[in-house]
């Protein structure tokens, strides 16, 4: 049976294996009942009988190596996270973060330590020359693929519901774009793409976004995609018991564990920013970073990316940053408040894992931000030939900005970008679903890459364990 790294059973199994290891080097080895481990040792020990001291020593080292290899395999098996295997199911106490590779935007499923599930930004960018190919393929819509992935990994399949869904901002790659062929919902009240398609098939208990209920802040949202989403919300509230809330920066009690929160007091989701309102780092206080909208010329108003929802997840020593398509300023004479990364970095501080803002586009991951967060791991969803930008990648790799190792993982790198940016060969992975599995308590985490060419859920690479800092 596959056991999770985080589970107590896994730890017990490891302790038992280490006990075997020690026993194998004691004179009473052969009297032990654990045949599988000792068959090899017995042969080596028997061969070693009566040999000169030097040879015996060599046999002992060989036996130690054989055992070490065997035990390493056993431990890996016990943790169930070996290359070639199907991803072991989430286990209580573990924090799982699945960055689902669709080739068409974001889609991130969080399973908190008590099994509370949250889906963020199930996007569906529409066709275009710079858009990457769909994963696994184009036989289904991105929303359908996300539904099937989520249904496969949800910890409570009998209930098959998401406790939370959240949109960081209202762009197609984060919520689902509409085209003339977008299918209607069963009710006929709205069209299906991205979030509305997920909600059609999986019950969403609570929906969070940055602009509920009036969708007028900081400027009125008139996009047909947002109108369609509003029709979806209205239908879900009336017929499916959905609750909707505006994401409130500063709070650490809006997104909470719902099943066994007392078992994991070291877990927290901190709302950091939305629509330019940024947490100060003191209590739940916030301040508005944008100037009054009336003072800005129509073209100088906050953009949808500027308004992205930002949150930080903390689990013991593990810190994780996610900030949608937040910009860090542009060098084109734009007002300085378009840099939202800098004030956000000041309250977030260093993290273990950073989700690249704006998929690593040219306006994101500014120097101050990279230097302040100094992550061990960067992850992002790539769906365009510009993800990531070459200068951004140089900053991420720069040991002048911060010292030490760092690993970068992308879901679906375009071949065109690989041709233009040779440094992309330094990525740890550029294709596949990215699963961050944080062990119980948050001290360590692993990153597993899953095959995204079909629904195999098979592990193609394991990185770590990393120590949380
Ligand atoms: Zn985006």
Q: Of 103, 109, 107, which is closest to residue 195 (Cα–Cα)?
A: 107
The reply to whether 187 and 333 lie within a common domain is yes
When pLDDT is cut at 50, 70 and 90, the band that residue 67 belongs to is low
Residue 445 inside a domain? The answer is yes
- Structural domain ending residue among the three candidates 44, 79, 114: 79
Q: Are 442 and 428 in contact (CB under 8 A)?
A: no
What is the predicted pLDDT for the residue at 6?
A: 35
What's the full length of the chain, in residues?
A: 469
Model confidence at 191, pLDDT cuts 50, 70, 90, reads: very high
| Residue 2 counted as domain residue | no
Domain termination residue (choose one: 79, 104, 135): 79
Confidence of residue 351 (pLDDT cuts 50, 70, 90): very high
Angstrom distance (rounded) from CA 147 to CA 197 = 8
Other beta carbons within 10 Å of 416: 14
399 and 271 in a common domain: yes
The answer to whether the Cα torsion of 355, 411, 150, 214 is positive or negative is positive
Q: Are residues 102 and 171 in the same domain?
A: yes
- CA of residue 307 to ligand 1 center, whole Å: 12
CATH code where residue 319 lies: 3.60.15.10
* Same-domain check for residues 299 and 342: yes
Query: Same domain for 335 and 222?
Result: yes
* 118-140 average pLDDT score: 96
Half-sphere exposure of 352 (CA within 13 A, CB side): 23
Number of other CB atoms surrounding residue 101 within 10 Å: 28
Return the closest-CA partner of residue 288 out of 349, 343, 221: 343
Predicted confidence band at 81 (pLDDT cuts at 50, 70, 90)?
confident
* Contact (Cβ atoms closer than 8 angstroms) between residue 421 and residue 390: yes
Centre of ligand 1 to C-alpha 83, Å, is 30
- 30 with 135, same domain: the answer is no
User: pLDDT of 199-239, one tens digit each?
Assistant: 999 999 999 999 999 999 999 999 999 999 999 999 999 99
Residues 71 and 107 in one domain: no
| Tens-place pLDDT, residues 240-260 | 999 999 999 999 999 999 999
CA of 418 to the centre of ligand 1 (A): 20
Residue 90 within a domain: no
**pLDDT score recorded for residue 64:** 61
pLDDT for residue 76 is more than 60: no
Whether 131 and 65 map to the same domain: the answer is: no
Pair 113, 252 in one domain: yes
**Are residue 101 and residue 30 in the same domain, yes or no?**
no
CB neighbours (10 Å) of residue 201? Answer: 15
Task: Determine the distance separating the centroid of ligand 1 and the alpha carbon of 383, expressed in angstroms.
Answer: 9
In the reported structure, the alpha carbon of residue 451 is separated from the centroid of ligand 1 by a whole-number distance in angstroms of 23
How do residues 279-326 score in pLDDT, each as one tens digit?
999 999 999 999 998 888 877 899 999 999 999 999 999 999 999 999
According to DSSP, the residues that pair with 204 across neighbouring strands are 162
For residue 125, being part of any structural domain is answered with yes
- 1 part of a folded domain: no
> Residue 88: inside a domain, yes or no?
no
From the CA of 125, how far away is ligand 1's center (Å)? 9
Instruction: Say whether both 61 and 189 belong to one domain.
Output: no
Going by C-alpha positions, the residue among 378, 379, 455, 376 that lies closest to residue 412 is 379
Last residue of a domain, one of 48, 79, 110: 79
Q: Is the pLDDT of residue 450 over 90?
A: yes
Residues 15-21: what's their mean pLDDT?
Answer: 33
Residue 362 has pLDDT above 80, yes or no: yes
| CA of 353 relative to ligand 1 center, distance in Å | 18
Number of domains forming the structure of the chain: 2
292 within 8 A of 314, measured Cβ to Cβ: no
pLDDT at 66 over 90: no
State which residues form the domain around 345. Answer: 95-467
Whether the Cβ atoms of residue 230 and residue 207 lie closer than 8 Å to each other: no
Q: Is residue 3 part of a domain?
A: no
Distance from the alpha carbon of residue 29 to the mean position of ligand 1, in angstroms: 59
Looking at residues 345-362, what average pLDDT do you find? 98
Q: Which of 26-35, 78-87, 171-180, 329-338 has the lowest mean pLDDT?
A: 26-35
* Residue 84 placed within a domain: no
**Are 342 and 244 members of one domain?**
yes
Q: How far is the CA of 439 from the centre of ligand 1 (A)?
A: 29
Establish whether the linkage from the previous residue to 136 is cis, with ω within 30° of 0. yes
Distance 185 CA to ligand 1 centre (A): 25
């Amino acid at each position: 049976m596959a056991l999770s790294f985080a589970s107590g059973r896994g730890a017990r199994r490891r302790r038992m294996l280490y006990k075997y290891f020690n026993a194998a080097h004691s004179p009473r080895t052969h009297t032990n009942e654990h045949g599988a481990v000792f068959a090899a040792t017995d042969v080596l020990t028997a061969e070693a009988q009566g040999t000169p001291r030097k040879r015996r020593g060599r046999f002992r080292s060989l036996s130690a190596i054989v055992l070490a290899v065997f035990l390493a395999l056993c431990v890996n098996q016990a943790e169930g996270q070996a290359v070639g295997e199907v991803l072991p199911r989430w286990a209580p106490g573990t924090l799982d973060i699945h960055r689902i590779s669709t080739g068409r935007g974001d889609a991130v499923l969080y399973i908190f330590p008590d099994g509370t599930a949250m889906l963020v930004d199930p996007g569906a960018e529409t066709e275009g020359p710079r858009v990457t190919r769909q994963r696994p393929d184009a036989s289904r819509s991105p929303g359908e693929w996300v539904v099937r992935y989520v249904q496969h990994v949800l910890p409570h399949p009998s209930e098959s519901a998401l406790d939370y869904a959240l949109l960081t901002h209202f762009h197609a790659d984060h919520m689902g774009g509409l085209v003339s062929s977008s299918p209607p919902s069963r009710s006929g009240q709205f069209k299906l793409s991205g979030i509305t398609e997920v909600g059609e098939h999986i019950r969403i208990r609570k929906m969070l976004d940055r602009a509920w209920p009036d969708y007028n802040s900081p400027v009125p949202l008139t996009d047909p995609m947002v109108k369609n989403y509003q029709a979806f919300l209205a239908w879900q509230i009336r017929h499916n018991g959905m609750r909707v809330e505006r994401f409130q920066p500063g709070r650490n009690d809006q997104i909470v564990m719902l099943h066994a929160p007392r078992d994991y007091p070291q877990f927290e989701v901190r709302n950091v920013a939305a629509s330019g309102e940024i947490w100060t780092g003191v209590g739940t206080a916030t301040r508005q970073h944008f100037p009054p909208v009336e003072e800005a010329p129509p073209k100088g108003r906050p953009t949808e990316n500027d308004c992205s929802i930002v949150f930080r997840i903390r689990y013991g020593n593990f810190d994780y940053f996610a900030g949608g398509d937040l910009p860090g300023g542009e060098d084109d004479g734009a007002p300085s408040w378009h840099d939202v990364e800098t004030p956000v970095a000041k309250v977030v501080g260093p993290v273990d894992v950073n989700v690249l803002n704006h998929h690593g586009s040219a306006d994101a991951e500014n120097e101050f931000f990279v230097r302040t967060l100094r992550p061990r791991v960067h992850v992002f969803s790539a769906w365009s030939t510009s993800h990531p930008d070459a200068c951004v990648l140089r900053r991420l790799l720069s040991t002048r900005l911060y010292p030490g190792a760092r690993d970068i993982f992308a879901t679906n790198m375009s071949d065109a970008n690989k041709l233009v940016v040779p440094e992309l060969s330094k990525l740890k992975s550029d294709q596949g679903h990215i699963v961050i599995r944080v062990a119980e308590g948050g001290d360590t985490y692993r990153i597993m890459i899953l095959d995204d060419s079909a629904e195999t859920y098979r592990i193609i690479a394991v990185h770590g364990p990393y120590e949380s800092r």
